[in-house]
Chains A and B, each alone.
Chain A
């Protein structure tokens, strides 16, 4: 598998501060971050791993597993009130915005936020996303590949930006990348935990860790060639084959960290006919009414066309100005789709012409 070296491809130089912290200090250090905002991170809730507000630092679950619902939910909430209205008009509701420190964010999640930034932060900026983003610190953590991890294929297993601190777990200690001025303030708060001297042994250990990690991936796909393959396969009968089995359930959109689509609904207060709220909800282009306009014309009535749009955004281009496709290789579509339509089966089928039979 050919991989681009991102550091050189982007013309970037690693100029970040890298420090060392003994593992025994981790909980105390993370607890100290509450000074910078309410702590959030993955916890076990109702038997599922999900991002939640941390009541206690002991609730935090740092693991290689991904929360089922990606980090987008903290920036592009599943449902929230955009504005309240009354006889005087509309008033924006910014009550969800608070200072937050989000702990335990994996590299693919950080990459997904950088992609969502391209959509929500481009002019005119979405003030809800922008404010949630600007008020949140990202404390990243390294992870090792799980069953369906594809981030080696999508080149999103490593991060160089998009975090305030990033912890690489080398067992008895962490290497800590300081990615922002705020991150530097956080370190400064508990300076005594950090060792400025990174030895040659540490470097050796880090290199070994990366080599080990790179060998652990069980699955891969032709991400680099997919834009061309998608273009060449636009009229392929493969899409119809997948359309026959797709349930249009939209689960792929809910679990995909770069699905940004939403719909908007007005709701009157129960007791009032002039007051109410305008709410935003996640939507999915897999739903049949996604492109339906008043008068009854549906621009994407066929399921195959909806699949092409979804996979076009993930594997070909996502937005005119953004060079890369949306897939960050988290593997959630592989975990979640009830009928096994995912970036692996789609890319394999388009290349081999074989639709996997169940």
Chain B
């Protein structure tokens, strides 16, 4: 069995330590984690838009979007909503506790289609978690991109994630940040209404030189994509990330199939043009 032991088992997760955690909003927690093996921690490279599988022994394993940017290696950041068995157990963990991770999986956003172009990033709700990765990647490599627009909509001010970080970003001159909530309160300093209402603030763009990215709840895609199309952005320059149930992350278990494709391997990032060929809904 020596040969077998030599084989890298892609299902075997590696130990990682929770470095730090804090609550973003009620039932939504931010985690920084680091591979215990320092070499692994520093060599773990990924693209914005990729995900990991996180295990808690005895509880199970689930996919999580990476919210940190690969331009700041060593520590992985996750934004987690308490929503099921595994996340419930993850919320019981404290700093310095161990979890198990494997990955990165999926294709990630197509960065080569963004370089030297204007970029419109649109997030709805939890969709901001994977988009935070591309956002910081772009800011860390700001010279590579032309104008950058970041539109983020949440349901209420209390459900707005990364409030402190994102409000600070508004001070920067090299990125246009537009925030909105469906239902505002007296203290909310930004726009009120659905995220598509923010599009009127985008100045004239050259659609051929623009890449658009959107991640949000399933209901949001159609409306946001309609706005992109109104701006005449070509369908293959609109990138979106899809959620599906996943058990393996490497194209074996079948769960994330969209027709003949596997979201975990062929996605989760697809262009709108790709999805037009799907007969199933986004």
Contacts and interface: CB of A to CB of B under 8 A. Distances in A.
Contact of A293 (B7, B244, B250): B244
Nearest to B265: A320
Given A83-B12, A264-B60, A299-B245, A126 B252 contact: yes
B21 interface: no
Contacts of B55: 90
Contacts of A261: 253-255
- B interface secondary structure, majority: loop
Nearest to A300: B280
Contacts of A308: 279
Given A266-B60, A297-B218, A283 B253 contact: yes
A127 B253 contact: no
Given A124-B10, A127-B10, A291-B245, A264 B257 contact: no
Contact of A291 (B81, B84, B100, B244): B244
B87 interface: yes
Contact of A305 (B13, B261, B280): B280
A124 to B, nearest CB: 4
A320 B258 CA distance: 11
Contacts of A124: 10, 250
B57 A276 contact: yes
B61 interface: yes
Interface string B53-68: 0010111111000000
B62 A294 contact: yes
B59 A264 contact: no
A267 B280 CA distance: 34
A292 B58 contact: no
Contact of A294 (B87, B261, B279): B87
Contact of A263 (B243, B247, B259): B247
A295 interface: yes
A89 B253 contact: no
Interface of A: 82-83, 85-86, 89-92, 94, 97, 119-120, 122, 124-127, 131, 231, 234, 260-268, 273-274, 276, 278, 283, 285, 290-295, 297, 299-300, 305, 308-309, 312-313, 316-320
Contact of A90 (B62, B100, B252, B266): B100
B4 A131 contact: yes
B11 A82 contact: yes
- Counting chain B residues whose Cβ lies within 8 A of the other chain, the interface size class is 35 or more
A294 B84 contact: yes
A82 to B, nearest CB: 6
B251 interface: yes
Interface of B: 1, 4, 7, 9-15, 55, 57-62, 81, 83-84, 86-87, 100, 218, 243-245, 247-248, 250-255, 257, 259-262, 266, 279-280
B12 A92 contact: yes
B260 A317 contact: yes
8 contacts: A90-B57, A97-B4, A119-B252, A124-B250, A131-B4, A260-B252, A262-B247, A294-B62
A318 B252 contact: no
Contacts of B83: 294-295
Contacts of A264: 60-61, 247-248, 253
A290 B255 contact: yes
A120 B252 contact: yes
Contacts of B58: 85, 266-268, 273-274, 276
Contacts of A293: 243-245
A94 B4 contact: yes
Contacts of A122: 251
A114 to B, nearest CB: 16
Nearest to A276: B58
A47 B3 CA distance: 40
B254 A283 contact: yes
A118 to B, nearest CB: 10
A297 to B, nearest CB: 7
A16 B107 CA distance: 42
A242 to B, nearest CB: 17
Given A90-B100, A293-B244, A262 B81 contact: no
Most chain B CB within 10 A, of A234, A276, A320, is at: A320
Nearest to A231: B279
B4 A127 contact: yes
A308 B278 CA distance: 12
B253 A262 contact: yes
Nearest to A268: B58
Contacts of A125: 10
A295 B245 contact: no
A197 B59 CA distance: 62
